[in-house]
Amino acid sequence: MSNELLADRHELFRHNFPRTVAILGDVRLRVGEIEAAARDGVGASALTMLYATPPCQGMSKNGRGKLLSEVRAGRKPAMDERNRLIIPTIGLAASLRPEIVLLENVPEMAETVIIGADGEVARILDLVREGLGPEYIGRAEVVEFADYGVPQCRQRLITVFSRHPAMVEWFEASGTFLPERTHGSQGRRGTCRWVTVRDAIAGMPPLDASCEELARSEIPFHRVPTLDAMKYWWVKHTRAERSAFDNQCVECGWEGNPTHGATRDAAGVNRASRSTPLYCERCDALLPRPHVKLGGRYELMRGFTSAYKRMSYDKPASALTRNLSYACSDNKVHPEQNRVLSLHEAFRLHTLDKYAYEWKRRDGRTVSDKLVREVVGESIPPLGLQGIVDHLLAIRAGTATRPVVESEAPLLAQR
């Protein structure tokens, strides 16, 4: 059984999971249907797992920054109503009593507070623990998905609670439900090195954003938007792992123009430098740096050090967002070629290429690139999630391998 608010995503889900009872609409208005469908599906058996991913826009760093601006401008209340969608989820869990409750969200959820059903302000995780009751045991932990073989650095708060006897016993002995890391930045202590951008997308047919003819290939979704002449000029002169804001003079060749930077103000907000030069300090020529035209003179575009920046080939990608097809997005310019990521490359970095997932709708309507970007940018890499869920089910079945620890003392200290 599934529940989705947005019709476009609902239709994608219905096509790829046709055996699922898919319920469209606001969870707050569909609680009865959801509960009935779940009970009908399991019959006299216990529900194995309830998996929920409440919206993160009111919790994420980007979302909170935008929310704060809206609050200060008097256009939004201080608490984002979307964060309260966890309340009906807790209610469903309390009613259905699944053996496993799995929640996924951004790390900021750990400290997010909301107004509970009783009108009192409380931390979301405290409400989860209280709503499930003492029968459930578990915790919330920040997971770096690159640590599970995903070629993308994407951190999420994974919250797992269980009442299944085998899982309760496991947690009481180990203090966690998560599997051991399989990868690490250096590949030490029995782990493999992180999977890199090069590992995932090297060897793909080259593309170039200067014109339509060069921006496409025969491979489905291996295409990129073209860039206008000015933006292409910025990207063309951007060096490996650098931002276009750091580009130097192409007229006189002077390499000493100050590069872009950012600092935190007294309130802790990250502010991009306002003094980064746009004109060469030696010959006064316009630098190939992102800019806008105001009046008769160009001015540097406002942007952070990660905008118009080339990805590193030898590290995992930064987290893919719904803006992954824009050069101004965070670290999304190709490591070598003059373009952004193609959607096909995004699938590889997100590990979607390892699954028989089709970008088709049940109603037969066309799936837009915009919808594809949104679904990828607001989901988590399935390979990493599968590793976690497989481990949970192995614990439940009594077939999981216990982690090796040198002594009991460090384990107790972690708990």
> How far is it, in rounded angstroms, from Cα 132 to Cα 138?
11
* Full residue range of the structural domain in which residue 179 is found: 46-193+381-414
For residue 218, tell me if it sits in a domain.
no
Q: Amino acid identity of 148?
A: Y
Gyration radius from the chain CA atoms: 24
Residue 112 DSSP symbol = -
Is 182 part of a structural domain of the chain? yes
Give the N- to C-terminal CA distance of the chain in Å, as an integer.
Answer: 34
In a domain, 199, yes or no: no
Domain membership flag for residue 135: yes
Integer CA distances (angstroms), 348 to 170, 320, 352, in order: 34, 11, 6
- Residue 312 in domain: no
**One digit per residue, pLDDT tens: the chain, 415 residues?**
999 999 999 999 999 999 999 999 999 999 999 999 999 999 999 999 999 987 655 554 444 444 444 444 555 555 666 677 788 999 999 999 999 999 998 888 777 777 777 777 778 888 899 999 999 999 999 999 999 999 999 999 999 999 999 999 999 999 999 999 999 999 888 899 999 999 999 999 999 999 999 999 999 999 999 999 999 999 999 999 999 999 999 999 999 999 998 766 665 555 678 889 999 999 999 999 999 988 878 999 987 788 999 999 999 999 999 999 999 988 999 999 999 999 999 999 999 999 999 999 999 999 999 999 999 999 999 999 999 999 999 999 999 987 665 443 333 333 2
Asked if residue 31 belongs to a domain, the reply is no
* Cα gap 402→394, rounded to integer Å: 11
List Cβ neighbours of 120 (8 Å cut-off, separation of 6 or more).
Answer: none
Is the residue at 385 inside a domain? yes
Tally the domains of the chain: 1
Q: Which residues contact 266 (CB under 8 A, 6 or more apart)?
A: none
Asked if residue 241 is part of any domain, the answer here is: no
Q: What is the CATH number of the domain that holds 185?
A: 3.40.50
Neighbours of 66 (CB within 10 A): 14
